[in-house]
Structure 1
Amino acid sequence: MKTIGRNVKTLLASAITAACLFSASAQALTLKLATDSGTQGSPAGEALKKWGELIEQKSGGDIEARVYYQNELGGQQEVFDLHVAGDVDVMLNWPMTSYDKRIGVIYTPYMTLSWDEALEAYSPGGWVNNMLGGIYQDIGLKFFGPWPEGFNGVGSRGKYALNIADADGLKVRTMTVFPAPQTMQALGYQTAAIDWGEVYTALQTGVVDGEAGNVIYWDYEYFRDSLDYFVQTKHFFMTGVLSMNQDVWESMTEEQQKVVSESAIEIMNEQFKAAREQDEFYINKAQEAGMQYFEPSAEQLGEFAKAAREQVWPMMDKEIGSEIMDTIRSNASPL
């Protein structure tokens, strides 16, 4: 009888423990993390994965992270829509301007011309960083900080351009956000605004002769068999953004907020240290794969920058406001 009693007590204790564990698991907060650009194994994909892992570790199991990579939840605009709507809680995004054209500040051509200037401007407390935080808040997103990649350029086949005149006749893909097409037109190119998920087909079918929306990593990784040249025109300093839906953020406890925020800062700080070396690594990889790489001279870069500032910045006064553009003019790299 004593043995039976002990067994009953053991079974009851096990059942209570299991019930408690099940209850704790059922109460765990689940966050959906996504990126609009970056497959599993890519730098952006790995950053998102690590962000999710840090959230789970730091929360001690209180938060579960489910990670979705490029195209798993839709195209670039679709995933950003989900983020604003709260169906994607946490995101590493390359922001779309459909909700607020002021987000286009991140795509202002030739704000900065060197790595040191760019990293200072985008770092916490930097003048670009401060502008982005307020804009994101206005569309219902919690802004944690940027995820810098570096200066972008133009990948092309058959022909390349180191000045405006030579760009004549080259048709390049641009991002679908303002002022990406307008910037490349100022540099002398013909343009086609194409969603990221359709770029490969556009290159293969000859719809465009090149791609002008990214740092060299993306052109090397996805299109090196289609592109012969890469000219680092530096028209944009490319950076992703670490953000969270504001309503979801406010629904969490202070401890949960601290976990997500601290994890985001860790990911951001790692990328600030790694970005320049990462970009140089892929410049070398692209050349090893047969792509010819060109860095315009100071004079050539000055021609591009002057044309873009003269033609595109006045458009941006109308689209994002003179107050923001005056801040940009006051802080931008001198030509």
Structure 2
Amino acid sequence: MAGLYYAKHNKRVQSDLRQLTRALAYSQTMKKLSKKKEVRDNIKKIDRSQSSDLKKQYLFELINSIPHIARVVTTDQYVYRANKVEEKPSDVSRISYPPKEIVKIPQGRCNYNGNSVFYCSVDPSAALFEINPREGDLIALSKWKVEQRVSAKIIGYTKAELNSEFNGVGEKSISTSDIGLYDYINKYFDSWFRSPTEHFYELTSIVSEKLLNDGSLEPGPGGNQIEPVHDNIAILYPSIAWDKSDSKSNKPAHNIVFSQKAIDDGVVSAVEIVFGDIGRVEKGSVTFNNTIKTTDISDSQINW
């Protein structure tokens, strides 16, 4: 009799556990659906709103609803920046971030509220195509060395892309239950940041303001907390010009945005500049004519 009682009791317990498991799973599913609906509603509000303050509020809510994943940019990294110029530059300030007084919205993807930022790419070809070169343009293509270890927040990549491009950082930083929402939001960020027009500049500049000034970071590879090593954090996003580039690499190029303070504090420094005029521009390639390289860059002075 005792055995029969315990058998029935165990069946009831198992049945209760199954019901509880189903109830919990249903609750989690409903929470995900509710969260995704809230995100969709926010995106619609962003699209319809005429108020910059409201757009900022909705965008901040989007950003706060997913983890902030970061990649540590180490001191062995080089980045590249291209500038259209009127003549051969003599001072590094001419090829660095633009002066604050000329920065307006919409002007750049990450220039916000009149604050200037430093755009660059990990690939020189992508950096060149980012500025849409035309035949006859005078160009200064500069190479910069990362002098201080810095954390770059990654935006515009799905979890699968994070895994393939950044050594599995997505697998280690995004829980299985968060994948759908993370990918959904970042696909919008990707379309905004990679848009070839200025239509989304207001949105991307607001996102950049949030990311560059919010120091909170999620754990990165290995689960270790990545602490910012500089007052301002960089942003890393996909280059819009990669499909135009003739780079031999099979990997996409990534753009990095540094704050003005980071540049002023020497987080990166110019090590070489190539100056010349643009010849033929074709899909996948561009030719430089009459090129000349720097012999030395010292105390912001450029020597040719």
Whether the TM-score (by the shorter chain) exceeds 0.5 is no
TM (norm. structure 2) is 0.30
TM-score by length of 1: 0.27
More helix by share: 1
Structure with the bigger percentage of strand: 2
